[in-house]
Structure 1
């Protein structure tokens, strides 16, 4: 991971120096060693009940478990003081990683949710925030969510301060920009992917689709009247199921190969936003798929973490 800083040291030299500091500190630290951050218990106008500490990034913090370092600072840079709070808030962002809207999405989010342990907090650079925002905000808007207030880029330092810059500055998006396909349609039929969306969605159904229309730039999915199997009721009410209509926000013209043929059942997962039911993920219900069978079995036996509204 590289850092930017104004001064006489070049970026790469500074990165090495900080990296060596981190490795030295981490090697001598116990799991709950306390670090003497200059601000002690008072940061960003908020008083914390605990001093900052360096802890292992747990395996079930899926957003950041494989981010490239093993220990994180707590409280983090989003004012989360406990690991359960970090997991709860970070979990709703996991589906965004699968959209591959920007190569640095994980680096940016984890710099805030699970910041690396150093002698002072290191924020993401403003340019990193802007690059991820510009690529990922259109994907989030597809689900009906604006770029959140807590991630407004003007809050972060400009690039000549000590901060985390873009890691893939020459390649803002990944090699295959997933958002060219309607984001709800660009999900692998893998058990892990299905479960991530299931847990982060308000509702999940097995159902047939009668008709697909375009409406004011959105794509409108009208459910068939045949019996629907509810896998997760969530915010849905019985009257919603009788005349079920879902929308792919800004999805009138993006490709969605699942909807090329409506002859099969579908696994539908989504959110209720401003009285509209928005599609988050769609899969054809492939009876022979072992991944789908495993996921459905897991849905019945596994209790999801309590997520706040996805992407917020």
Structure 2
């Protein structure tokens, strides 16, 4: 059975938890000394649990396990601890599902929208391995949401329902608090560059956006305009090379227009000179084509060559979307 918040064992350690969690995320690891970890699968009796602090938590018939965070789980492999609880706190019950869903959020880390983004997401995707689930505090969720939701909206993604901050415990309960605030740390600077223009020309990054995009093109841009706070990219009429057709229709390609949401005034160095070809990746949202990533088509780039070659054989996950 799950231990309720008033059980004797819980009452003895609750104050110690609050002190440990109130300082920094590294202090969370001290919890491993205060509570016994989950046993390995072959040592643990079957039981059910439900979080006392998370009202939408569910009962599991399947036993929780303590497993290594996979090395290829890029979202959390360097989060600061080695083992995670499975099922996790987002109802994912297998490692392949966890890795696939967590991979959708890796590009958000690269945007550096809030320094606690990884701590918040990994507390849910790869929760620290204890015999009781520890959720992020509501203020941690709110801080990450307020900084990162505008970036997500640039790509046409709303803040997801599964991360509604009201679901998480208030800060005077046992929970993972904010690690960075004005009192003891300076947050990493939020980049002013338009998010679709702020991507490294690396094969790995290109492939992440390739899988998350509805369509991918090699094309020229004729003109760039500002329209109602957005930036409007008008494609040249010259022949476009379609690398991923997706949702694009023939009429879309004939008069192709892309938008950077809320991007009228943010810098985008790639658009300073329109003389070259571009690698364009985008999504279709409410009949509008949104730009997700843009790179100048550099023929000498080994990273670009590798990515283009890999696209021909790449099998993307069936439900892989950035910021899912």
Instruction: Report the TM-score when normalising by structure 2.
Output: 0.85
Deviation at 1:68, TM superposition (A): 1.6
Deviation at 1:142, TM superposition (A): 0.9
8 Å CA contact 1:198–1:204 kept in 2: the answer is yes
- Match of 1:135? 147
**1: distance between equivalents of 2:244 and 2:272?**
26
State which of 294, 299, 305 in structure 2 corresponds to 1:293.
305
State which of 274, 282, 289 in structure 1 corresponds to 2:294.
282
Mind listing any 5+ residue stretches in structure 1 that lack a counterpart? none
**1: distance between equivalents of 2:150 and 2:51?**
37
8 Å CA contact 1:32–1:53 kept in 2: the answer is no
- Match of 2:4? none
Would you say 1:39 and 2:49 are equivalent positions? yes
Q: Deviations over 1:191-220 (max 9, x none)?
A: 111111111211111110011111111101
Would you say 1:12 and 2:25 are equivalent positions? no
Secondary structure of 1:301 counterpart: coil
- Match of 2:196? 184
- Match of 2:208? 196
**1: distance between equivalents of 2:194 and 2:166?**
29
Select between 258-267 and 192-201 the one with higher mean Cα deviation. Answer: 192-201
**1: distance between equivalents of 2:149 and 2:322?**
13
**2: distance between equivalents of 1:185 and 1:41?**
41
Deviation at 1:236, TM superposition (A): 1.6
Size of the alignment, in residue pairs? Answer: 303
Q: Deviations over 1:201-255 (max 9, x none)?
A: 1111111001111111110111111111111112222221111111000001111
Mind listing any 5+ residue stretches in structure 2 that lack a counterpart? 1-12, 22-26
Q: Deviations over 1:118-176 (max 9, x none)?
A: 110000011111111111011011111221111111111111111111122235741x3
Would you say 1:207 and 2:215 are equivalent positions? no
Secondary structure of 2:81 counterpart: coil
Instruction: Report the TM-score when normalising by structure 1.
Output: 0.88
Q: Relative to 1, partners in 2 of residues 1:67 and 1:273: Cα closer, same or farther, differing over 3 Å?
A: same
**2: distance between equivalents of 1:18 and 1:309?**
34
State which of 91, 97, 100 in structure 2 corresponds to 1:79.
91
